[in-house]
Chains A and B, each alone.
Chain A
């Protein structure tokens, strides 16, 4: 599952471990947020750690699901099923923290 957009302003990576309900819900929530707030400005990559366990180390993944904003810097991490849109937007710096 990859959406390539070479000049994307936002580069996101969602780490999951298998197709768990929580992972699926995180993915669904994320898609919705991206469509509403980042349309055409993002690139999303899904990493399933059950298939690529060696990738967990590089991004310091502990919690699942974890969304990593790799660009723009600084790197941000949002953990959980992304059900709280407000906090996801704050985490992505799309909305100032209150």
Chain B
């Protein structure tokens, strides 16, 4: 299974897919077929895992047998390491499609006298390749040889010979290397493996870790040059290719109900546009989540799949709270239509959140997605970081034609917050909720600040959270007090 891509000179290069989500997009098809690729990074950056995933996917997904020559961990250790990711190495080895050879050198038991070469390594590799019919080979981490043998000059010559030999064999190889001082790898392997180089990085900033991947070099092929965040989760590696941001998504004309018929009415009678992005902002306790719950409930009633990211409450809390206003979401969870994904924002960095959300969305394939509340992400990033992250997320959701509703918590009874003004440009529809104290009672007001592509109401409507959900109060029956809500709120809400 190889894909072809055209190099800058117009030559055709075959590519071998890694089967790693995102990486094949960045490299436009995978690694160069029949050539070695260097994967380098610091300790714990995920080199071995990436290499093994490439190998196992080869066997499992693409029918390409593989060979692992490991210099650091023995077969059992490797098998244990990857078992948690669902790779069953012993089974693959048993099927004869994967061979693992642990190459171990103990310097203390070796005496060097006179000339030698590393033909033994070639013999072993060749034997493993032949016995499995391997198309993919992983060498992890070959630099360990430098610790076992003293003749650096000879080692370098032999490595050069090895990489040439691998090319002659026509196998697609992944060679891992430890990041060195000022060099991509300690021993300067990049000098020998110069077809493709992938750099992995694991940074911890403010106790929050983010993994990043960069294609440093890919001879004869276009590739994404950015740093891409990636994720190591229970089902392997996911790399997030930054979406094009080319604003090419469709603009569907069909509409979806907000779940509140009076609100549909305010949005030119039909509700939100499908695939659009809605921001619901307001201070604490104004009913943002309730508004989202109505939308979820309505979508599930239509049999659509909904995904709800929670950054504050647990799913149980939310289900309980919504039950108290008469919205039973639990049945949709039981039916498998509604899925919650709750994560503390501080659990990891924004980019990791982004990759995680991407992956969860891709896996669940919803038509409606809720993010509640996005403002909690500000605890792990700056305004501009959050905006950049949301831009990418929203862009992705739009590409997939997923309707997204984001809630945003406004800290106080002040002007519209900076967060909101920064992300509001990404929004198609912006709803504002406010709490006002009028005559000793709390009044809730709702206002459609903007809604692109439709004639929407400009009224501030008073609403109540009842045991039958969020209900807009009748405008015709509006009392003086309700008008007061309208008046105050309008004044404040016109900050846009």
Contact = CB atoms under 8 A, between A and B. Distances in A.
Interface of A: 15, 17, 22, 26, 29, 49-50, 53-54, 56-57, 60-66, 74-84, 87-88, 90-91
Contacts of B110: 77-79
Highest count of chain B CB atoms <10 Å: which of A53, A65, A84, A88: A53
B364 interface: no
Contacts of B119: 17, 49, 63-64
18 contacts: A17-B123, A22-B117, A29-B114, A50-B123, A54-B127, A57-B124, A60-B103, A62-B121, A62-B148, A76-B109, A77-B109, A78-B113, A80-B112, A81-B113, A81-B114, A81-B115, A83-B114, A84-B113
B402 to A, nearest CB: 52
Contact of A62 (B109, B115, B118, B126): B118
Interface string B85-124: 0000000000000000101110001111111111111011
Contacts of B284: none
B129 to A, nearest CB: 11
A9 B62 CA distance: 53
Given A17-B123, A49-B123, A65 B113 contact: no
The listed residue with most B CB atoms (<10 A of its CB), out of A29, A56, A75, is A56
A96 B405 CA distance: 78
Contacts of B103: 60, 62
Nearest to A59: B120
Nearest to A66: B120
Contacts of B115: 22, 80-81, 83
B123 to A, nearest CB: 4
Interface SS, B side? mixed
Contact-residue bracket for chain B: 20 to 34
Given A29-B114, A49-B119, A62-B121, 9 more contacts: A50-B123, A56-B120, A61-B120, A62-B120, A62-B148, A64-B117, A80-B116, A81-B114, A91-B113
Contacts of B126: 53
Interface of B: 101, 103-105, 109-121, 123-124, 126-127, 145, 148-149
A83 B100 CA distance: 34
B385 to A, nearest CB: 48
Contacts of A63: 116-120, 149
Contacts of B149: 63
Contacts of A74: 109
Contacts of B120: 15, 17, 49, 56, 61-64, 66
A79 B111 contact: yes
Given A53-B123, A56-B123, A56-B124, A87 B111 contact: yes
B486 to A, nearest CB: 82
Contacts of A61: 120, 123-124
Q: Which 5 pairs across A and B sit closest by C-beta, in order of nearness?
A: A91-B111, A80-B114, A81-B114, A53-B127, A83-B114
Nearest to B105: A62
Given A15-B120, A49-B119, A63-B120, A78 B104 contact: no
Contact of A82 (B105, B113, B118): B113
A18 B405 CA distance: 71
Contacts of B127: 53-54, 56
Nearest to B121: A62
A64 B121 CA distance: 9
Contacts of A81: 113-116
A64 B124 contact: no
